[in-house]
Amino acid sequence: MPDTQPTAVLLNPRDLVVTAAQKLGLAMIVVGDPKAPLPADTPRQSILRSPWMSDLDRLVEQLRALDLPAPVSCFGFGELGSTAAAIVNDRLGWPGNPPGALAAFKDKARLRAEVGKRAGTPVAHVTCAAKEELRPAIERIGYPCVVKPVDGTGSSGVRYLAGPEETEHYLAALDFTTPHLVEEFLSGAEYSVEAVSTPQGHRILAITEKTTTGAPHFVETGHTLPVRLDPADEAAIHALVTGTLDAVGYRYGPSHTEVMLTKDGPRLIESHGRPGGDRISDLLFLALGEDVFAQTMTAVLGLEEPPPATQQRLAGIRFVTFDRTVPMPGISTELVASLPGVAEAAITVEAGRRPPEVRQSGDRHGFVVATGATRDELETNLARAVRTLTATA
C-alpha cells in the first residue's frame, strides 16, 4: 500500500464501483453529472457535481484545483466514462489507459484498421462517410451484409440486409448523421469475451454465451457465463482477444470483445474498453467472484493484488417482453426476486406506457438475473423467474 491514501475519481459510478473503492480503503471523489443519480451509499463529502459529459475541460480544471496527492487516477466504467477517464488522466499526468486506445474501441472502422490481421482473419468492410457511399459499398461487400454506425452502442442502428429490395427501403428511411460501416455477414455462434488487463498482460475471465433477436437488428436477449468450448476454439478465441487488445494498446481494466465462432474459426465483431453491458460485470462477480472494478483500481493505483477468485458457479440474464398492444400495468418484482437463485429482477417500461418494439437495447422491457451451480439449475431458475414475471402482467 502506498504511503499516501490512494484516491479514485469515479465518473457517474454504479453502486458496485463505490463498494469496490470502499473495500479497497480508497479516498473517493465521486463525480456526478448534474442530473445523474448517484448510489445511495455515496459519502456526501465525496461528491463533486460537474457537467463532465458535455464539458470535460471544466472537470479537468476542477480536479486540477483540488491538487490531489498521488497516487490518484480517474475511473469511468461506461461507454462515455472510460473515454473521458483516459482523457482526464492524460491531461493531469495520472496513470491510466492512453486515450488513443479508447478512441479506437469507440470507432469500429478504426478498430478494424488497427487490428488488421493480428486477431485472425479480417472481416471485409467498407467505411462510408456519406449516405451516397452506402449503396456502392453494399454492392462491393455483397449480400447478406450488416450496416451499422461506426460509433454505435447497444445495437443502435444495426441493420441486416438480405438483398437489393430491402436495401432500397433501408436507404430511403435512413437518417444518416454519422459515418457507417458496411461489413460481411458472419455466420456461426456468437460469444463475448470478458477480460481484464494490466501492463503485465490480459487475463481472460470468461467466455459468455449470448442470444439475440436475430435479423434485422440483433438485439441481445440473454447472456450466460462462463461457458466452455472445444479447447482449440477457446485457445483461438483467447488469441483473437489478446491480439485485439494489444493492437490498440489497452493497458488497464475490463474489456468486452464480441466474436463470431464460424466454421473457419473465430472472427472479430467489435471490442470495448469497458465491462460488458447487460449486467455482465454482475454475472462475473456472482458466478466467479471476479470484481473487475476492484481489480482495475488495484492495478492502476499500485495496490497489493488480492488473492485470485476461486468461486465456480454459473450466472445468466434473460430479457423479457410484454404485450405491446396494451399499456404496461404496475408490476411488483418482489416475488420474482425472492425465487431460488434470483439475484435481480427489473421492469424497464414505465407503468401506463405501451412497451416499444425492440429495435435496440434500450427498448427491452425488463430482465431477470440468476445463478446456479450447474447449467441445468441456472436455466431452471431463469425460466421460473421469467414465467413468474410475465405472468403478473
What's residue 331's pLDDT? 85
Helix extents (H) in the chain: 15-23, 56-66, 79-92, 99-106, 108-115, 134-141, 164-173, 231-248, 280-288, 292-301, 334-337, 375-391
Query: For the domain that residue 381 is a member of, what is the CATH number?
Result: 3.90.1170
Question: Does position 299 have pLDDT exceeding 60, yes or no?
Answer: yes
Beta pairing partners, 10: 30, 75
End position of a domain, from candidates 311, 338, 363: 311
pLDDT at position 156 = 77
Q: Report the CATH number at residue 54.
A: 3.40.50.20
Q: Report yes or no on 111 lying in a domain.
A: no
Q: Is there a single domain that holds both residue 296 and residue 346? A: no
**DSSP summary character for residue 120:** B
Question: 248 and 354 share a domain?
Answer: no
299-309: average pLDDT = 90
Of 184, 208, 235, the domain-final residue: 184
Taking all residues of the chain, what is their mean pLDDT, rounded to a whole number? Answer: 92
In this prediction, residue 216 carries a pLDDT of 79
Are residue 288 and residue 350 in the same domain, yes or no?
no
- Alpha carbons within 13 A on the beta-carbon side of 98: 11
Can you point out the beta strands (E) in 167-288? 180-184, 189-198, 201-212, 220-225, 253-262, 265-272
pLDDT per position as a tens digit, 314-354: 999 999 999 898 998 888 899 999 999 999 999 999 999 99
Confidence of residue 12 (pLDDT cuts 50, 70, 90): very high
Could you tell me which residue, 237 or 158, shows the higher pLDDT? 237
Q: Are residues 203 and 253 in the same domain?
A: yes
Across the strands, what pairs with 159?
147
Helices 79-92, 56-66: inter-axial angle, 10-degree rounding: 50
Is 107 domain-assigned?
A: no
Alpha-helix runs per DSSP H in 313-363? 334-337
- Residue that terminates a domain, selected from 290, 311, 332: 311
Same domain, 137 and 213: no
Query: Do the domain assignments include residue 299?
Result: yes
The total number of structural domains that make up the chain: 4
- The answer to whether position 105 is within a domain reads no
pLDDT digits (tens, 9 = 90+) for 236-262: 999 999 999 999 999 999 999 999 999
Q: Is residue 21 one of the residues assigned to a domain?
A: yes
Q: Are residues 87 and 132 in the same domain?
A: no
pLDDT at 393 over 90: no
In the predicted structure, residue 296 carries a pLDDT above the cut 90 = yes
pLDDT at 154: 65
pLDDT band at 374 (very low <50, low <70, confident <90, very high): very high
Domain match, 204 and 307 both: yes
**Residue at 190 is within a domain:** yes
Residues 317 and 342 in one domain: yes
Query: Could you report the per-residue pLDDT of 107-131, keeping only the tens digit for each?
Result: 888 898 888 887 778 889 999 999 9
Q: Assign residue 138 the CATH number of its domain.
A: 3.30.1490.20
Residues 43 and 131 in one domain: no
Claim to verify: residue 179 and residue 190 sit in the same structural domain: no
Quote the percentage of the chain above a pLDDT of 90. Answer: 75
Do 254 and 154 have their domain in common?
no
pLDDT for res 150: 87
Residues 141-161 have a mean pLDDT of: 86
Domain that holds residue 213: 186-311
pLDDT at 153: 73
pLDDT band at 208 (very low <50, low <70, confident <90, very high): very high
Is residue 1 very low, low, confident or very high in pLDDT (cuts 50, 70, 90)? low
Per-residue confidence at 214, pLDDT binned at 50, 70, 90? confident
For residue 54, give the amino acid letter: S
The CA distance from 75 to 324, in Å, is 39
Could you identify the residue written with the cell 490531489?
Answer: 68
Please indicate, yes or no, if residue 1 is contained in any of the structural domains: no
